[in-house]
Structure 1
Amino acid sequence: MSPAGLLVGAFVIVPFFWVIFVSFTNRSLLGPTALNPDFVWFQNYIELFTSGRGVEPGTFGFSLILTVQFVLFSALIGQALLGLLLAWLLQQVPKSVKGFTETMVIGAWILPEVVIGFAWFAFLDYDNGTLNGILDALGLPRGDWLLDYPFWVIVVFNTWRGTAFSMMLFNSAFASIPPSYFQAADVAGASSWQKFRDIGLPLIRGHVVTDLILITMWTFNVFTPFLLTRGGPGGQTEVLSIYTYRVAFRDFDFGKGAAVGVVVMLINLAFALFYLWVARKRTPRKEAT
């Protein structure tokens, strides 16, 4: 266990505490505070919530609200529900169709993010994009998707990218349920929806919580939308990961960037604790009389 412990300590534990330490300083990349930063204690955190009007593009408050919306639409509503639906539908189709679908969906998961980002950029490009080419062929008006609908573009993009994980997780969960449960439901004349509601979903409750924890944290920290919009136009897609990058590596304000990182870690921790609380909560059952 020692080599693994050393690697975890060097690349996880030490950076974790270093980020917390830097967040209380005015460390920067350039200037006198690069080598000799001063302790400013909670000044970086105060500036995050008080700078500007708080909800204008380019501020921490705006990026926080935008990220919450991004997680809600692309992770919880998009990836989780779509992955659950695909996994359940795959239980109803022939093995050949199931294998082909799994291969196509997993392809979206294993491809490098840079490749996927540039592929989607080429798909949505106004002048030579594939989507506008299809619309032209159908006689429909083309759209400047990255300029007119930047937020929904990154929502659809991230949903397409991450649904594969949810589908694979739920697919394995459904496969672990004894077939006799569903066979008994078939004999009783249960519909597909009734089998899903009364048998499938209750038995994969733990997998649902695991999926929600992972995709929430991943989506909260995802940086791939930067490849499509670079946070624009006008900061309309500057989620917290891109905001942190801009503050720390463009404005060279490491102290403030570290403060954003600490806040993000606390938010992820809150999400994880909430999901675990929901998973452990048990609804009292009335005794049959």
Structure 2
Amino acid sequence: MTAEPTTPEHPAKPARRFALLSNRAGAVFLTPAGLLVALFVIIPFFWVIFVSFTNRTLLGRTALNPEFVGLANYFALFDPSNFFQRGQFGFSLILTTQFVLASALIGQALLGLLLAWLIQTVPPWIKRLTETFVIAAWILPEVVIGFAWFAFLDRDQGTLNAILGSVGLPKGDFLLQQPFWVIVVFNTWRGAAFSMMLFNSAFSSIPPSYFQAADVAGASSWQKFKDIALPLIRGHVVTDLILITMWTFNTFTPFLLTNGGPSYRTELLSIYNYRVAFRDFEFGKGAAVGVIIMLINLAFALIYLAIGRKKRV
């Protein structure tokens, strides 16, 4: 059977597209997922916003009959008289910002980028072995990693102090003396694995002929990285920075090492929110902190979507 000729008088008919499911059947299949999202995401989201405008607590008169207090919880969080004091919202916000800069932007991104670039030049078996250890550090449960690091840094029976003592160096109580840098190193060690895997995939997607031409021209490793590799993976770098910034800002794992102490010196915003809501039982104030954290995460998400949209254009 021959196809009919296409002429101005007889234009070609568009091919028919048959949907596997009707709109009604698709809605039926999506309904359970929509109900779960509404139950566990949308409703709690608006409930937290509502509670942030009340003085709800777990104990006392306001547990059953909370009162509407408007913006009082938010004003209390941003009270300039105690904003910078330890144990207050402002101190935790500034500490979290420092933690993100030191751990995510400087630590994880740079270390992951450096490791990913270095393993491009090693023998294949070393590259596979390195990737295995890196993936293991990433997929192990956070609780296991936290207690492993606690055992490593323990003052009396810790592995690190045992190594230092065996070579004649003085021992130290690192969790008490340098708690902030302990959680920075801990989070960098764990988070650099993701950055390394992402950048490793990005470097592998670059055509080898680019580097072969650079070798013929006598380019050094730094020149190949600066002039060839880095411009070609710029989009991956931006994606990595946005993702690890959001994850580091919301991380709770340092709680396993320091419990937010000593003297609130490692009480990140997520740990501060936990203490206010579930230790002090001030649900209204804790909900206000949660709303602020959600707004900050929303800002990160909007930046990420804007960058992704620009890349598609």
Structure 1, unpaired ranges of 5+: 283-289
| Map of 1:210 onto structure 2 | 239
| Map of 1:285 onto structure 2 | none
| Map of 2:94 onto structure 1 | 65
Any residues of structure 2 matched to 1:1-289 within 5 Å, and which? 1-50=30-79, 52-274=81-303
**Distance between the aligned counterparts of 1:161 and 1:116, measured in 2?**
9
SS at match of 2:48: helix
Q: How many residues align?
A: 282
**Distance between the aligned counterparts of 1:183 and 1:19, measured in 2?**
57
More displaced 10-residue stretch of structure 1: 247-256 or 177-186: 177-186
Q: Sort the Cα spacing of 1:13 and 1:185 in 2 relative to 1 into closer, same or farther, 3 A.
A: farther
More displaced 10-residue stretch of structure 1: 176-185 or 91-100: 176-185
Q: Sort the Cα spacing of 1:167 and 1:2 in 2 relative to 1 into closer, same or farther, 3 A.
A: farther
- 1:212 and 1:275 in contact (8 A); partners too: no
Q: Sort the Cα spacing of 1:125 and 1:189 in 2 relative to 1 into closer, same or farther, 3 A.
A: same
SS at match of 2:54: coil
- Which amino acid is 1:216 matched to? T
More displaced 10-residue stretch of structure 1: 30-39 or 272-281: 272-281
Displacement of 1:64 after TM fit? 0.5
| Map of 2:11 onto structure 1 | none
Q: Sort the Cα spacing of 1:11 and 1:205 in 2 relative to 1 into closer, same or farther, 3 A.
A: farther
Displacement of 1:94 after TM fit? 1.1
TM-score, normalised to structure 1, is 0.92
Displacement of 1:274 after TM fit? 4.4
**Distance between the aligned counterparts of 1:199 and 1:17, measured in 2?**
48
- Which amino acid is 1:130 matched to? T
- Which amino acid is 1:83 matched to? G
- 1:135 and 1:142 in contact (8 A); partners too: yes
**Distance between the aligned counterparts of 1:128 and 1:7, measured in 2?**
47
Q: Sort the Cα spacing of 1:55 and 1:206 in 2 relative to 1 into closer, same or farther, 3 A.
A: same
Displacement of 1:127 after TM fit? 0.7
- 1:209 and 1:279 in contact (8 A); partners too: no
Displacement of 1:278 after TM fit? 6.5
Among all aligned residue pairs of Structure 1 and Structure 2, give the percentage whose two residues are the same amino acid.
78
Displacement of 1:2 after TM fit? 3.5
Q: Flag the structure with larger Rg.
A: 2
More displaced 10-residue stretch of structure 1: 142-151 or 264-273: 264-273
Displacement of 1:90 after TM fit? 1.3
**Distance between the aligned counterparts of 2:91 and 2:295, measured in 1?**
18
After superposition, what is the alpha-carbon deviation per residue over 1:19-71, rounded to whole angstroms, capped at 9, x for unaligned?
A: 21211111111223223222211111000011752111100010001000000
After superposition, what is the alpha-carbon deviation per residue over 1:62-104, rounded to whole angstroms, capped at 9, x for unaligned?
A: 0001000000001100001101111111111111000000111
**Distance between the aligned counterparts of 2:170 and 2:35, measured in 1?**
58
Displacement of 1:230 after TM fit? 0.4
SS at match of 1:50: coil
Structure 2, unpaired ranges of 5+: 1-29
Displacement of 1:13 after TM fit? 2.4
- Which amino acid is 1:190 matched to? A
TM-score, normalised to structure 2, is 0.85
More displaced 10-residue stretch of structure 1: 34-43 or 245-254: 34-43
- 1:52 and 1:59 in contact (8 A); partners too: no
More displaced 10-residue stretch of structure 1: 50-59 or 98-107: 50-59
**Distance between the aligned counterparts of 1:166 and 1:114, measured in 2?**
21
